[in-house]
Structure 1
Amino acid sequence: MVDLERSTPCNKGVTVASQTSSRRVTAADIARSLGVSRATVGFVLNETPGQTISAATTERVLAEARRLGYRPHIAARALASGRSNIVLLVLPDWPIEYSLRENIDEATHALDEHGYALITYTPHEGTRARPLWETLQPDVVMGLLPFSDSLVRSMRDAGVERIVPDPDEVTDVRYNEGGPRLQVEHLRDLGHQRLGFARPSDPRLFELADAREEAAAAAATALGLEVPATLELTPADSEDDPPISKWMNAGITGVVAFNDDVAAAIIGAATRAGIAVPHDLSVVGHDDTPMSLLFEPRITSVRIDSTGLGHYLAALAIHAMDQTPTPDWEQTSAVTLIPRASTSVRPTHSE
């Protein structure tokens, strides 16, 4: 076996690099390469406050760490500090659509400003893989929905201390119910009295669709209208259109759509059936995605403050870790209706 200490030229950096090429570079390797103490390197790499290490020494340590390819050992750092600086966002088994993607992006940026990394994870029924909360040692595990008792037990067994929503508290979980209210109010203001709520065909969205349909029903009741009829779309892989003529024969002149994709599907089916939108049927979407501007007629939709909601998610995580004030949902959940060409006044022939 070749003795690296004897055969390598006297450049200490080269010696250490040769010795550590097949294993993780450690703080001890950096200290040995520079001829400084392990403690000094540790103070620099961990940014330990209250130390009197010169700027020149700090820069030498950091430069050598980069040259040797040093990477911090996450588990060891988390053990030493008590923090991994990881927030694990557990997503329901929903398709990752435009508005959800926007919310996650904003939450990621907001947490990054506080030094935390956001990682998303979707557990699936019957999976054999270990859940990420067992391997990442996250500071917080968050969910868009309350967790089941079995998932909470799994997290607790893995040592997770902070879970949002807190399973020990009664949580009022809401999902932009202000949007369906604006949809219903807009159609009522245009004179529409008989409304329908159009649901998605994807079963993964049924729970969220239930929440929005309930909100639309509550808004209609508060305005003195009948509860919107439930309108079911045909499956996405079906060539059959939804029975729009049947809906209109029942007196429906305005449709509250679950989202812009559903609104677009209804407008397309109406066009094929010879039904004019908005002259014969008004349709309001939700989420104000790029689809609403690309479709013809352009879709009236509800715009969600993705920045505010993303910051709300981040603030919930920071509150759980640092006991900062509880964020105010009402101040971060602004929704606005954007009127476009897919809605108009109620047609007089429908009296």
Structure 2
Amino acid sequence: MTDPAGPRATPTPPTSAAVARLAGVSRATVSYVLNGQAEGRVGARTQARVRAAAEELGYVPHAAARTLRAGRGSIVLLAAPADTVPAFGPLFTRFLAGFQTALHGLGYTGVLHGAPAASPMAAARAWAELRPAAVLALHGPPLDAAAVDLLHRAGTAAVLTHGPSAPPGAHALLLDQREAGLRAGAHLLAGGRRRIGVVRPADPGLADFAGARLAGVREAAAGRPGAEVRPLDLEPTEESAARLAARWPGLGLDGMFAYNDEYAMLLMRALQDAGHTVGTGPDEIGVVGADDLLLARLLRPRLTSVRAEITPPDRIAALVAALIRDPDRAPAVHRLGTFRVEARESG
């Protein structure tokens, strides 16, 4: 419906000059107070007067202008396409919440950047437009030296990538997904399993993580007489799980490691519906998931799961802040944690 009074004008936001006039101080004083630089420069009463004036006017500092003055902003950008974040599971969600809270306490804002990019340079250009203080490339095309150099020239102090290594000028954050598969494979083999299926999400966006876990299971099986590892692609639907369960007798598998607990529970239910028994016995199918969800412990049989022991997010936030303050620190590999198996009744 058209407004009879005509289009409404966008209100002009209050400026620091307006705050200065209302408080009876200079704009420089307003800047010191509202940017946390008043200590030793502005008295307590004047600070209180400036804050009261800013609150009365509804004044909020302009982040873009502050970025231009400082050369970089307070954004810590976490690069992970939005359509793949739910598939990372609750472990990532919990980490992200704690990490953003810790960053806020250190004076930074964590921003999840979900725009996909076709190449490392395209990704770096999209991120550089925001003038972030740091970039954590958690997912997507691996960065190369040229992309890292572009970010640094745009004012980004710290670039961190996932994986066992990083391009020149970047730090590496490592939560070795291969180790998750290695632990799961070793556990199943120790329980007498020799023909192990590794369930991978059909989503190509998770191929890097799933491929590393598959490689870990294969590493565990290497040199074991009679050991066989077979990749199994699965859609996160009951229909896909039922089709795989129907094929199970022909596959001849006696163990299964799933990408995460949700995939494990989906296929375990389908196997049980098809008349198979899941458990630790010699004639049962051993099943291992990953992430150690609470729901895994409520199943019957209770689900064995690979648990990630993650470095607390506040420590990672402190690391990022330290790298921003010291951009010339030599690049290194920083471990995010390790994995262990929580053995239960499913395998």
Q: Is the TM-score greater than 0.5?
A: yes
Query: 1:215-234 alignment to 2 at 5 Å?
Result: 215-221=216-222, 226-233=227-234
Cα separation, 1, equivalents of 2:197 and 2:77: 38
Give 1:287 deviation, angstroms: 0.9
Secondary structure at the residue paired with 2:177?
Answer: coil
Which amino acid counterpart does residue 94 of structure 1 have in structure 2?
T
Which amino acid counterpart does residue 91 of structure 2 have in structure 1?
S
Q: Please, which of 83, 94, 116 is the counterpart of residue 84 of structure 2?
A: 94
Give 1:98 deviation, angstroms: 1.3
Which amino acid counterpart does residue 137 of structure 1 have in structure 2?
R
Q: Which moved more, 1:316-325 or 1:174-183?
A: 316-325
Corresponding residue pairs, total:
321
| Native 8 Å contact 1:90 1:122 kept in 2 | yes
Cα separation, 1, equivalents of 2:18 and 2:171: 50
Query: 1:72-151 alignment to 2 at 5 Å?
Result: 72-92=61-81, 94-96=84-86, 97-124=89-116, 133-145=127-139, 146-147=142-143
| Native 8 Å contact 1:192 1:254 kept in 2 | yes
Change (3 A) 1:334 1:241: same
| Native 8 Å contact 2:116 2:123 kept in 1 | no
Change (3 A) 1:154 1:321: closer
Give 1:139 deviation, angstroms: 0.9
| Structure ID, larger Rg | 1
Secondary structure at the residue paired with 2:102?
Answer: helix
| Native 8 Å contact 2:78 2:110 kept in 1 | yes
Change (3 A) 1:319 1:48: closer
In the other structure, the counterpart of 2:29 is 40
Give 1:256 deviation, angstroms: 1.3
Which amino acid counterpart does residue 337 of structure 1 have in structure 2?
V
Q: Please, which of 276, 283, 292 is the counterpart of residue 288 of structure 1?
A: 292
Deviations 1:298-333 (A, max 9, x none): 211112134x16356535533431237878644x41
In the other structure, the counterpart of 1:168 is 168
Cα separation, 2, equivalents of 1:298 and 1:271: 14
Query: 1:186-225 alignment to 2 at 5 Å?
Result: 186-221=187-222
Deviations 1:11-66 (A, max 9, x none): xxxxxxxxxx9322222212211222333222222222563422111111111111
Deviations 1:142-179 (A, max 9, x none): 20242268865875685545432354258775533322
Change (3 A) 1:245 1:40: closer
Change (3 A) 1:225 1:53: farther
Give 1:114 deviation, angstroms: 1.9
Q: Which moved more, 1:162-171 or 1:103-112?
A: 162-171
Q: Which moved more, 1:212-221 or 1:142-151?
A: 142-151
Percent identity between the two aligned chains: 31
Give 1:88 deviation, angstroms: 0.6
Cα separation, 2, equivalents of 1:163 and 1:328: 12
Give 1:121 deviation, angstroms: 1.0
Deviations 1:50-105 (A, max 9, x none): 63422111111111111111100112212223341110111145242212212212
Secondary structure at the residue paired with 1:22?
Answer: coil
Secondary structure at the residue paired with 1:177?
Answer: helix
Secondary structure at the residue paired with 2:290?
Answer: coil
Cα separation, 2, equivalents of 1:326 and 1:171: 5
With structure 1 as the length reference, what TM-score do the two structures score? 0.78
Q: Please, which of 317, 320, 344 is the counterpart of residue 320 of structure 2?
A: 317
Cα separation, 1, equivalents of 2:240 and 2:135: 42
Change (3 A) 1:318 1:70: same
| Native 8 Å contact 1:133 1:158 kept in 2 | no
Q: Choose between structure 1 and 2: higher strand proportion.
A: 2
